[in-house]
Chain A
Amino acid sequence: MHELVTIELSVNGVARSLLIEPRETLAEVLRDRLGLTGTKVSCDAQVCGACTVLVDGLAMSACTYLAVDADGRAVRTVEGLATDGVLAPVQQAFVDKAAFQCGFCTSGMLMAATALLEDNPTPTREEVVRGLEGNICRCTGYVPIVEAVLAASRAGDAAGAARIEQGSENSGGAR
């Protein structure tokens, strides 16, 4: 018999108790055990960011993160971003700015952006670029993606909105 471990975690706000093998990655558990296939695996080497999920609010590479390490923690995936069918501001911004083509990088981009904006609600363009370093997109190009994140930061933040009204936003190069 293989060794099995019970883990208790919350996934997108729902408490889960799972019996898993220690070697299972968080991506495998999310996709294969919970059917949450929004989390993608591409490089499988922590380089591309397609598998980005949040563990206690921090971006992690689910492809190389043991599910047992999420024991007792709160995991959030792209499936948890929208509320009652209404897209989160960052998702809506990706639509508005046409920030995806094939979409394979998008779940990871959205989760990386979510972590970034929760940590820093009014990032500069440079901070967005730096925060998304390590999330690779092979078709859209990064300009619309960065613009979408900046747009989401403004939409979701009163200070950002005020800056726009005054025409003195610090991310002036965004458009």
Chain B
Amino acid sequence: MIPRFSLVRPHTLDEALAAFEATGGDAAYLAGGTELLQVMKLGFAQIGTLIDVKRVPDLKGIERRPDGWLRLGAAVTHREIERSELVRHELPALAGLELHLANARVRNAGTIGGNLAFAEPHSDPATFLLACGATVLLASPSGRRELPIDEFVVGPLFTAREADEVMISVQVPPAAAGEGRSYDKLAFFERPAASVAVRLTVRDGAITAATVAVGSVGPVPALVAGAAEALLGADAGGDGLEAAVTAASGALADIEAEADLNGSADYKRHLAAVLLRRAVAAAIREAQADA
């Protein structure tokens, strides 16, 4: 059984923040509950008050802002993202990632905000959004702040979010001209064994900008600068690509990795190298389709 708690179901952001303050800190925000209820059921957390944020309008909706950034409300479910025409059009790799995350029931209840706030080391969206240069918007009684993903996720199950801060939304920058973004993973159980996200720009047939993020391998999703650098300048269509991808894969050989149920640290690094090859190819395809 889930241990007893009090429940508050606010209809506005101000009510949610005030409800947290009123508890003196013995509270947590609740979205889909797919992580939080599980943790409470297992006795890992005893929380006096749960503040359900699912009714707060600021946390809802998916839209393209006038400046081109995609804005996802923190309480938007995985299912809503997967099925959003806007996301499928603007950021197809995210819609594809959501389709293959967890199982249908978790996708129906679980939210993007809950996923990022929980900071599980095997999070698919955290890895992809890190490569995309996305940000999260947080609100507390003392104001708002926007943090890039790498400043937000600071450790396994640990973020820069203060306990009283509500995550309002996730912002993703638009693709630059000739930019492609891709994500690939391998999963044996519910969560990935390893995953790789690639964001790159192709101009005049050459890779002119690249970002590589690896997830599920180490304690947090991580940017791998060496892998990204190895891709720079490579001929996106020709023979040079093979050498660049091999060099980029080589740069994954010494990333931080932890053995888990999926296999040894070395095995997971190996998986990442294989996935990198696929993700680079997919990102180039998207970049060139765009051109």
Contact = CB atoms under 8 A, between A and B. Distances in A.
Interface residues of A, number: 31
B282 interface: no
A58 B79 CA distance: 10
A60 interface: yes
A91 interface: no
B38 A45 contact: yes
A60 B6 contact: no
Contact of A23 (B4, B34, B38, B104): B4
A149 to B, nearest CB: 13
Interface stretch (A65-73, A77-85, A151-159): A65-73
B106 interface: yes
B104 A115 contact: yes
A139 interface: no
Contact of B190 (A21, A22, A47, A68): A47
A132 to B, nearest CB: 8
A59 B108 CA distance: 7
Contact of A46 (B4, B52, B105): B105
Nearest to A71: B9
Contacts of B1: 23, 28
Given A60-B109, A64-B41, A134-B105, A5 B7 contact: yes
Contacts of A59: 104-105, 108
Contacts of A116: 104
B3 A60 contact: no
Nearest to B2: A23
Interface in A13-63: 21-25, 28, 44-47, 49, 52, 58-61
A112 interface: yes
A131 B107 CA distance: 11
A165 interface: no
A133 interface: yes
A133 B104 contact: yes
Contacts of A45: 38
Nearest to B108: A58
Contacts of B102: 134
Interface in B239-255: none
Contacts of B6: 3, 22
Given A59-B108, A133-B103, A64 B34 contact: yes
Interface in B1-21: 1-7, 9
A175 interface: no
A21 B4 contact: yes
B50 interface: yes
Contact of B3 (A23, A131, A134): A23
B274 interface: no
B106 A61 contact: yes
Contacts of B9: 68
A129 B106 CA distance: 17
Interface string B42-60: 0000000010101000000
B37 interface: yes
Given A46-B38, A47-B190, A68 B104 contact: no
Nearest to B4: A23
A64 B50 contact: no
A65 B186 CA distance: 28
A116 B108 CA distance: 12
Contacts of A49: 103, 105
7 contacts: A3-B7, A21-B4, A25-B2, A61-B34, A68-B9, A69-B52, A134-B190
Given A52-B105, A58-B108, 11 more contacts: A25-B37, A46-B34, A59-B104, A59-B105, A61-B106, A61-B109, A64-B33, A64-B38, A66-B37, A68-B7, A69-B52
